[in-house]
Structure 1
Amino acid sequence: MTHKIAVVGGTGPQGRGLAYRLAQAGNAITIGSRDAARASEKAEEIAAKIGGPATVIGATNADAVATSDIVLLAVPWEGHAELVTSLRDELRGKTIISCVNPLGFDAAGPYGLTLSESAAEEAQRLVPEAVVVGSFHHVAALSLWKNEGLLSHEDILVCGDDAQAKALVMELAAAVTGKEGIDAGALRLARQLEPLTAVLININKKYKTRAGVAITGIGGHA
């Protein structure tokens, strides 16, 4: 089954990479940005990379969300609450996928911020009429964009409180890895999943690689 997906933050590296993978799998993608012209430029870049039939267009954030059934939030933590609040009317009734990582940076490198709630939980609190699922936090933007073929050596972890929405996102994960995502539990587990990204960034820097997450002991997975 294919879906109409808005990628808010689709002009950034992570959003661009996820939009590319989801469009390549046949989904209709709308890149959202504050600047509709910039969103359209990025949409054209993604469509050109796919090189075949694909539906990728650009629009303002509000228009992208309003015309889609699923909304992927791939935006920086700074300004997250303000952005979600500004889109509250358009987000009502949607399935929201949050891959937002609240990270801090200092001389010692990135680290997870100590917060009372995760970015995914914040989005759910701000738009209670939507259903929020946390996922796609740990796939490197460069891997999404530059690697040829599916990232079958990695797993996509999915957390949420709505079983149907979580199953939907686990299905979408196959666009990236070629296999269903891993059910990682309730939405509150995003508090652990989001800061884990800082660990992977540090590993990448140390070993000059693009590390991912792989779960062992589950049939059909690494």
Structure 2
Amino acid sequence: MQKISMDSQPAAGLLTIAILGGTGDLGSGLAKAWARAGHRIVIGSRSPERAADLAAELGNACAAPYTQAVELADVVVIAVPFSSHEAVLSEIRAAAQGKIVVDAVVPLVPPRVSTVQLPAEGSAAQIAQATLGPGVRVVSAFHNVGAAKLHLGERVDCDVLVFGDDQTARELVTGLARQVALRGIDAGALANSAAAEALTSVLIGLNRRYKVKGAGIRITGLEEADPAGAGQ
């Protein structure tokens, strides 16, 4: 796979972001949005050719196997299907120590993906934290972002709820969310991620029922409390 040189540091405020599942709809959409914002992107994928093609399209990016992608990154985003979630977590556990891992995985169980089916552990995010261990700061976000809208080249007209038990990590991911959507909103503890993960199935049902694409969420009443957040 193609590599980028890591000899020089990104500009202030910019990160190297590894996206595992980076050739999928959500992963590639996030990659494009963050590449436009100036971040370095590492595409982690089981499809080397597709990953290399996307990296070439983005420019300041590379493709790498999952473990190497994690090693190169400041922040790791997991955007794989739920069926692959635990296997990927186990694979990257050692490489992820000391890093921020953003879990965007939703526990969808085909064929009833419009029905909420949360795991016994509570949420995909809680599985991630338990598997990766206390040396990894797991943040949960981007469950309710319409992937199709990310590919249009503009920020998605929805809010992104950000969950995590580490405030500094939550704040960093909230900032990244504001680069792909209208707002990133600090939604509290990682356990609260169950609400957003469950809501994804509801939104899928709304898309089908009302024949729309990318139904999202907006949290009302925050504009006055956090006027700066909406425009960042």
Query: Fold conserved (TM > 0.5)?
Result: yes
Correspondence for 1:214: 218
Asked if 1:11 is matched to 2:23, the reply is yes
Q: Does 1:44 align with 2:49?
A: no
Give 2:119's match in structure 1, choosing from 115, 133, 141: 115
Structure 2 SS opposite 1:103: coil
Partner of 1:185: 188
Which of 53, 60, 82 is equivalent to 2:87? 82
* Runs of 4+ that moved beyond 3 A: none
Q: Within 2, Cα distance between the matches of 1:19 and 1:62?
A: 18
Task: Please report how far the alpha carbon of residue 37 of structure 1 lies from its aligned counterpart in structure 2 after TM superposition.
Answer: 3.1
CA distance in 1 between counterparts of 2:104 and 2:113 reads 20
Whole-angstrom CA distance in 2 between matches of 1:156 and 1:109: 21
Tell me the CA shift for residue 109 of structure 1: 5.2
Q: Of 69, 78, 84, which residue of structure 2 is paired with 1:64?
A: 69
One-letter amino acid of the structure 1 residue matched with residue 203 of structure 2:
L
- 1:134 is matched with 140
How far the C-alpha of 1:85 sits from its partner, in A, is 0.3
Instruction: Report SS of the residue matched to 1:84.
Output: helix
CA distance in 1, matches of 2:199, 2:182: 23
Distance 1:191 1:31 in 2: 27
Structure 1 counterpart SS, 2:83: coil
Equivalent residue for 2:178?
A: 174
In the superposition, the TM-score normalised over structure 1's length comes to 0.90
1:93 maps to amino acid = G
SS in 2 for 1:104: coil
Percent identity between the two aligned chains: 39
What 5-or-longer segments of structure 2 have no aligned partner?
Answer: 1-12
C-alpha deviation, 1:168, in angstroms: 0.2
Is the 1:6–1:29 Cα contact (8 Å) retained in structure 2?
yes
- Give the number of aligned pairs: 211
Separation (CA, whole Å) in 1 of partners of 2:113 and 2:46: 29
Tell me, in whole angstroms, the C-alpha distance in 2 between the residues paired with 1:78 and 1:112. Answer: 15
Q: Which runs of 5+ in 1 are unaligned?
A: 48-53
Quote the offset at 1:116 in angstroms. 2.3
- Partner Cα separation in structure 1 for residue 118 and residue 176 of structure 2: 30
